Amino acid sequence: MRLVATILLALAVIAPSAGQDLQGKVVEHTLKNGMRFLIVERHEAPVFSAMVAFKVGGVDEKTGYTGLAHMFEHMAFKGTQVVGTKNYAKEKPILDRLDRVAVQLARLDAENRPQDASRREALAKQMEQLQKEAEQYVIPNQFDEIMSVNGAEGLNAFTSKDITAYVESLPSNRFELWALLESQRIATPVLREFYLERSVVAEERLERTDNDPDGKLYEALVTAAFQAHPYHFPVIGWMSDIRSLTRPQAEWFHRIYYTPGNAVCALVGDIKPSEALPIIDKYFGAIPAGPPPPPVVTTEPAQDGERRVQVLFRAQPQLSMAYHKPTLPSDDDFVFDVLNQIMTGGRTSRLYTALVKQKRIAVSVDSDTSSPGARYPNLFEISATPIYPHTADELTRAIDEEIERLKTEPVPDRELQKAKNQLDADFVRGLASNMGLASQLAYYQLVAGDWRYLLRWRERVRQITAADIQRVARKYLVPQNRTVAVLQPLEASPASSTPGGAQ
């Protein structure tokens, strides 16, 4: 107990200063082309972390080219007209010819006419030959190697429903090199090896979704919950779309969404803004501005009845359920953060205690308050895995009992305060590292429109009451607002499944 008290006291001292320090230490700079930079000095070590993020993800796609945002993320590491090539002047004509053949092949595949079989075979052989010709000019992984040789760590990227981001940490004396390479791959990327990488992404989908029970169930849940809004689309894309993507499509996508005004760069570490800003202006300021990307106009209609879906798979049963809810900056979204912590925040949380410890009907239980994204109204998701021989039906009933408790019994003051303390401790830990802080700043600047949402979130969470929890539970956690997905072992009879078959 003495150790716990010491930790809580330390957090109490550190936590307030974290927000106060952040408020006064973020240097904001917007280039004439609209690209925004957020800089925080931390001179504890001669390194800095960078996150360059674009407000584009799976939600910005349409049927026919789903997976394009994720595909472009892969291609951003292939280099530029200078990096990754032995001779771009000779490479480019081959890439252009390869594109023409790929576009023809994609059209034939879409039409799928038997009389085109011989034509398709000839084009496939031509494409294979052109890929071999193009390969002789490629310097594989040169972008990564230049970064690594100069001390880069954590070189990576990710694509979500909402954003695409590129991250790395480097010695501070390599800041200008970072600015040169990053600005070039934003402005003039060359999407070499596109069709080879397309096959890699197709295999990634097989591994992480089609042949993975967790991925398969999550995809089924989200596509059932969102029937109109483009959150419906999987980030990795539908397999038929992946296999038909072309380099001209990806180049078009880059022109539309990879504009400076659609980007935020957060830099945290051993950086002096007075020295960094002239370098930033020199390299990133020259990128053409471009028009603003098109908005997402489709909204999800209110759900008017429970939806149930069944996935048959050779794996142990699993349960996922999701309720529609508002996203930031709605007050109810703040409440859901606290509610989420109460329900599954650790081994003393309500659902873990009830399902895993007391009733012993679940191996695990978890929840997420911003699935599958946060730019638009989203889902409060609860997932659990039953212990044999217990079923998803039993888990559903047990979860419903705990949800009913939220509606009918005010959360005790001590339990509510504990949840808030845990959230605040997570907040502080999330800002401790350079990359953690850079990620938070860039993410909320893009998704919330202002990095200061971090500070507002913290203050608002402290104000949440037991009455807020009850009100939100009663309003949103109702059957007609819910989608339930069950992964049922393939060998089992469909009649024995929780949902009673796909609906």
Q: Which of 285, 319, 350 is the last residue of a domain?
A: 285
* Residue type at position 297: V
Q: Which of 285, 316, 335 is the last residue of a domain?
A: 285
Q: Is residue 294 a contact partner of residue 343, using CB atoms and an 8 Å limit?
A: no
Do 460 and 316 fall into the same domain? Answer: yes
Position 490 confidence tier, pLDDT thresholds 50, 70, 90 = confident
Q: Which of 254, 285, 316 is the last residue of a domain?
A: 285
CA separation for the pair 30, 28 (Å, rounded): 7
Do 272 and 327 fall into the same domain? Answer: no
Q: Does the residue 216 lie in any domain?
A: yes
Q: Which residues constitute the domain of residue 463?
A: 307-489
Do 319 and 268 fall into the same domain? Answer: no
Can you give the pTM of this predicted structure?
A: 0.92
Sheet holding 153-159, edge to edge: 27-30, 36-41, 263-269, 47-54, 164-171, 153-159
Do 38 and 187 fall into the same domain? Answer: yes
Q: Does the residue 501 lie in any domain?
A: no
Q: Does the residue 293 lie in any domain?
A: no
The predicted structure's pLDDT at residue 143: 97
Position 20 confidence tier, pLDDT thresholds 50, 70, 90 = low
Do 367 and 478 fall into the same domain? Answer: yes
Q: Does the residue 14 lie in any domain?
A: no
Position 19 confidence tier, pLDDT thresholds 50, 70, 90 = low
Nearest Cα to 247, choosing from 131, 128, 142, 95?
Answer: 95
Do 149 and 213 fall into the same domain? Answer: yes
CA 499 to chain centre: 29
Q: How many CB atoms lie within 10 A of CB 431?
A: 21
Do 344 and 438 fall into the same domain? Answer: yes
CA separation for the pair 169, 269 (Å, rounded): 9
Helices 68-75 and 247-257: crossing angle, nearest 10°? 90
Lowest mean pLDDT among 1-15, 375-389, 442-456: 1-15
Do 208 and 323 fall into the same domain? Answer: no
Do 253 and 370 fall into the same domain? Answer: no
Do 279 and 315 fall into the same domain? Answer: no
Q: Does the residue 466 lie in any domain?
A: yes
CATH number of the domain where residue 370 is located: 3.30.830.10
Any idea which residue has 């303390």 for tokens? 421
Do 62 and 183 fall into the same domain? Answer: yes
Per-residue pLDDT tens digits for 359-393: 999 999 999 999 999 999 999 999 999 999 999 99
Q: Does the residue 349 lie in any domain?
A: yes
Do 196 and 66 fall into the same domain? Answer: yes
Q: What percentage of the chain exceeds 90 in pLDDT?
A: 92
Helices marked H in 315-389: 331-344, 350-351
* Residue type at position 255: R
Q: Does the residue 376 lie in any domain?
A: yes
Judged against a pLDDT cut of 70, whether residue 336 lies above it is answered with yes
Number of domains the chain contains: 2
Q: Does the residue 108 lie in any domain?
A: no
**Strand-pair partners of 49:** 169, 268
